Amino acid sequence: MNSSFALIFWNDKILLFHRDDIPTIPHPDCWQLPGGQSEKGETPIKTLKRELLEEVSYIPKNITFLGKMKTEIATAHLYLSFVSDAESKRFEHGPGEGQEIGFFTLDEALKLKLTPALRSRFSGFYTELTEAMKKRLPQIA
């Protein structure tokens, strides 16, 4: 099954989504990037836009495709967006989706209970992510 996720940066912070605390879902009560699994017939960008509306109630004006990563069971499509102060205020926790959303610095994010894959990526690409946020560069993946 395919999935799509977004790195959404506002200044030196990244938008994260707090998953529900339900034992029957993968990685309950963890923070992750906004996004999720594709529904039948969806393209990766349509998946992302649907998930963004559901989870954070807003689709940024500018979204750039970064690339895809193969996992054992799926392909994850990764997108990037830098948002302005005005755009950052448009994000709201989607009703019936997870527990909350928030913008965090990378150091703050690493103190949260992240999904294992996200913790690994944030730790492994710490320098690249930090530099990208400073310079607004899309060369992360």
Q: Residue type for 59, please?
A: I
Name the residue among 76, 3, 79, 67 with its Cα closest to residue 39: 3
Handedness of CA 83, 89, 95, 98 (dihedral sign): positive
pTM of the model: 0.93
pLDDT of amino acid 138: 53
Above pLDDT 90, what percent of the chain? Answer: 83
CA distance linking residue 48 with residue 35, whole number of Å = 6
Longest dimension (CA), the chain: 40
- pLDDT over 80 (residue 73): no
Give 28-59 pLDDT, tens digit per residue: 999 999 999 999 999 999 999 999 999 999 99
Structural domain 3-135, CATH architecture: Alpha-Beta Complex (3.90)
Distance of alpha carbon 45 from the chain centroid:
13
Question: Rounded to the nearest 5 degrees, what angle is found at the Cα of 61, between the Cα atoms of 133 and 74?
Answer: 75
| Mean predicted confidence (pLDDT) in 92-119 | 96
Strands (E), the chain: 3-10, 13-18, 31-32, 35-37, 64-70, 75-82, 100-104
pLDDT of amino acid 132: 83
pLDDT of amino acid 37: 94
- pLDDT over 90 (residue 67): yes
Question: Which of the four pLDDT bands, split at 50, 70 and 90, describes residue 136?
Answer: confident
Residue boundaries of the structural domains of the chain: 3-135
> In terms of C-beta density within 10 A (0-12 exposed, 13-18 middle, 19 or more buried), how is residue 107 classed?
exposed
Q: Please give the residue that has the higher pLDDT: either 135 or 93.
A: 93
